[in-house]
Structure 1
Amino acid sequence: MSRLTGVGVSSGRAGGPVVRVADPLPEPAAAPAPADPAAEAERIRPAADAVAEALFARAAKVSGDAKAVLETTAAMAMDPALTSQAEQNVAARSLPAPRAVFEAANGFAEALRAAGGYMAERARDVHDVRDRIIAELEGVAPPGVPELQRPSVLVARDLAPADTADLDPSLVLALVTEEGGPTSHTAILARSLGIPAVVAARGVLDAGGVGATVDGGSGEVELSEVEVEVTVSERAAAAEWDGTGRTSDGHRVKVLANVGSPADARAAAEAGAEGVGLFRTEFCYLDADQEPSVETQRAAYAEVLAPFAGKPVVVRTLDAGADKPLSFLGMGTEPNPALGVRGLRVAFDRPDVLNRQLEAIAGAAADSGAEVSVMAPMVATAEEAAWFAERVRAAGIERAGVMVEVPAAALCAAEILRAVDFVSIGTNDLAQYVFAADRMAGALAELNDPWQPALLRLIGTIGEAGRQVDKSIGVCGEAASDPELAGVLAGLGVTSLSMNAGSLQAVGAALAARSLSDLQAAAEAARAAAGPGQSRQAAKSTG
């Protein structure tokens, strides 16, 4: 028996036989050169189309987060920029098609990693698409989760979004990965499916073992040299929720959804979200060679808002810049994109872009009937918050807020709240800035664990500022989707929680099971702890 500890990212406890997910295909050879480079290049696009077709077929069988992930991966496979670069690699350098795809995809992935933030998270997706196209070209089985014959614990170096998107929770008892972090697709989808999961369990692949017991709360993994009987002693809560976010004694904590497309919005509405706490508007810009017109934006936003007519929706303005490079902004490169010109900082030099987006949002709100508020990302000072709020109100939108992702904004929360109507805490970015730890680095996953006491103490500071000025405090980072942590956040003064659609029921049910005073006691115990594991245990012990 060997014991390892990683980062628990989806609560629950389960055990059973281990099935290991194969590592990616070996690096394809750069030789021999093809006898007919033109014919070799012509193989690439049909292979990419075949991969996309298979992914779209899988997407048609699922819904919600899983469908969105599979469709996004399929779209990457069809990206003409990727296939064109690969074809050029064959034509200009006489590379075999698999090697040409390998090098083209790696170039795209490296550019994404260098950009940091949201874009860096997409590098893993590009590698997944790369390996699927190469497998198609070589006529071998694509990488991914093998077909399971019985309930099993999956162990992998990492899992691509398409690997986890349509997992069957009746066959997958738990997930354990050597790499990854709390905000990875593995973590997000495991929570949405109710599968216990541990990431960043370093050494798990070398430890061996044919059976495993996994605690997705504490992050503990026990590996056995003999098969472990299938047990599901605890699983992420799938309890009934009446659709109204509140504690057992009636204290309101709105349970909202994070959305970034019309499909996301429909899935969230069907899952019972009380509204939207984070509407990411980047989908309207990412593939655009030039800024979309006000009319184009208005129609796109209205389609997302439509399922929430009469309900609150918080729209985040364009979170672009160095870590999400958009060609029409012409901003060039920066040595440290995570600390560069992004979010609202882009608008200081290009207020016209912000003004046109606000005009489109106001029009979409009128078209859809949703109760729209607007917030800005990457705000650091009260002066910046006031600058943004003035423009929001000038556009005819009543409620203006800002994201708290920068420690300076958390420390000046009271002053910022006097300038705006609400704030929403982006725990993913706030954690990586607080701990100076890239959230994409598996080796630093524990520092980005949202149970870190330092992060909870900072959130408590923001919650107290909200109480002082009687304004709402939201959380729209991945921390909100953990049912246990959601209660702690409510105890710290958070008044709304926004998450992926798959987590709504579990979080709503968890809030309803305890009183506000219980949650406040749990919050106090958690933030007084020495580390994330102790913090989680301290919160549990008060229940």
Structure 2
Amino acid sequence: MQMSGLPIALALSGEAPSRALLERFAGVGLVRGEYVFRGILRYPTEETAGAELERYLSSVCAATEASVAYRTLEVTQAEANVLEGVEHEDDEDGDDLLGLRGVRRHMAFPASLDAELRAVRRVRERHPNLEVVAPFVTSADEYVWFRERVRSVVGPDVVVGTMVETPAAAVDVADLVDAGCRRFVVGSNDLTSLLAARRRGPALREGSVPGLARLLAHVTAAVHAVDGTVDLAGYLTPTLVETAVAAGVDRGVVHYSDLARLGLVDPAALPDLGHLAAVKARTRDAIAARRSRISRHPV
């Protein structure tokens, strides 16, 4: 499948696509692990990773021979607070784009990451097409720490890529290349918001963001120089796809929930079309309920 000449891979957030649907795409470019856990409102532990994550990844990997890229837990502090079993709660709201996110959270609390990775290892014993992607990276040091942790738990031959969601990661992409990374997924949602200094939303998605085209071209040139690959994930629009094609991006990664909106797949062929919205609503309700309890009973 293509959009304006750009090959398209699928992004999953807990949906269960059929083999027939997966065959239409250039692999599974991103599995967003946090939605597996947000769907049950429980934090990654040995129990939840084994019962939920392993089952889900096994079903996705078994349905395709193409690569499947799993991104480990990526949540804001507010989202983490409402997950049963979270190791640290913080009532400072702050900005959802900032704070203890991505690899920084993994480095602070590695036990939950290890639980995810042990589930990944068990799945890879049966499905070697499974890869791992580091979330919300800001430096090569963070990527190297993550990669070594993944390989120590999962195995030395697993492909470990990285998200490029922060301006720091995009500008210093050469450092990530020098550190040995060859698989890059540019996360357009957070990156465009940080570049434009605006909150995420439809208005931001539909417009052109100053500097994005130049930054994408910069990332692609550095990665292609070492025969690496660059995907562009997020809420893709025709404008964003045109920018990606001009920059030389290898694949676009489209959310399952956006397939019908973009006219790529008939809604009748997408039984899980409302899954992501339902999980997000469940999280919002849980956050609102927690804040209400705290306001009534302050410490």
Quick one: structure 1 residues 504 and 495, their matched pair in 2 at CA, closer, same or farther if it must change by over 3 Å?
farther
**Which of 239, 243, 249 is residue 488 of structure 1 equivalent to?**
243
Asked if 1:257 corresponds to 2:10, the answer is: yes
Whole-angstrom CA distance in 2 between matches of 1:315 and 1:268? 21
User: Whose relative contact order is higher, 1 or 2, with alpha carbons under 8 Å and at least 6 apart?
Assistant: 2
Larger radius of gyration: 1
Quick one: structure 1 residues 271 and 333, their matched pair in 2 at CA, closer, same or farther if it must change by over 3 Å?
farther
In structure 2, the residue matched to 1:197 is: none
- Contact conserved, 1:298 with 1:363, CA < 8 A, in 2? yes
Give the TM-score, by structure 1 length. Answer: 0.43
Whole-angstrom CA distance in 1 between matches of 2:171 and 2:207? 18
In structure 2, the residue matched to 1:399 is: 159
Whole-angstrom CA distance in 2 between matches of 1:290 and 1:426? 23
In structure 2, the residue matched to 1:281 is: 33
**Which of 334, 338, 342 is residue 101 of structure 2 equivalent to?**
342
Shift of 1:464: 1.4
- Contact conserved, 2:97 with 2:190, CA < 8 A, in 1? no
Quick one: structure 1 residues 470 and 339, their matched pair in 2 at CA, closer, same or farther if it must change by over 3 Å?
same
Quick one: structure 1 residues 475 and 507, their matched pair in 2 at CA, closer, same or farther if it must change by over 3 Å?
farther
Within a 5 Å distance, the mapping from 1:380-419 to structure 2 comes to 380-394=138-152, 395-396=154-155, 398-419=158-179
Whole-angstrom CA distance in 2 between matches of 1:268 and 1:391? 35
Query: Secondary structure of 1:337's match?
Result: coil
Quick one: structure 1 residues 456 and 485, their matched pair in 2 at CA, closer, same or farther if it must change by over 3 Å?
same
In structure 2, the residue matched to 1:430 is: 191
The runs of 5 or more residues in structure 2 that have no matched partner are: 266-299
Shift of 1:266: 2.7
Asked if 1:464 corresponds to 2:221, the answer is: yes
Whole-angstrom CA distance in 2 between matches of 1:474 and 1:362? 24
Shift of 1:313: 1.0
Give the TM-score, by structure 2 length. Answer: 0.75
- Tell me the amino acid that sits aligned with residue 216 of structure 2: I
String of CA shifts for 1:57-92, please: whole Å, max 9, x gaps. Answer: xxxxxxxxxxxxxxxxxxxxxxxxxxxxxxxxxxxx
**Which of 475, 494, 506 is residue 232 of structure 2 equivalent to?**
475
In structure 2, the residue matched to 1:207 is: none
- Tell me the amino acid that sits aligned with residue 415 of structure 1: D
What percent identity do the matched residue pairs reach? 27
Query: Secondary structure of 2:252's match?
Result: strand
Query: Secondary structure of 2:114's match?
Result: helix
String of CA shifts for 1:185-229, please: whole Å, max 9, x gaps. Answer: xxxxxxxxxxxxxxxxxxxxxxxxxxxxxxxxxxxxxxxxxxxxx
Whole-angstrom CA distance in 2 between matches of 1:456 and 1:340? 27
- Contact conserved, 1:315 with 1:375, CA < 8 A, in 2? yes
**Which of 48, 54, 73 is residue 298 of structure 1 equivalent to?**
54
In structure 1, the residue matched to 2:209 is: 452
CA root-mean-square deviation = 2.8
Quick one: structure 1 residues 267 and 431, their matched pair in 2 at CA, closer, same or farther if it must change by over 3 Å?
farther
Quick one: structure 1 residues 339 and 371, their matched pair in 2 at CA, closer, same or farther if it must change by over 3 Å?
same
- Tell me the amino acid that sits aligned with residue 167 of structure 2: P
String of CA shifts for 1:334-357, please: whole Å, max 9, x gaps. Answer: 333321001221111111211221
- Contact conserved, 1:378 with 1:404, CA < 8 A, in 2? yes
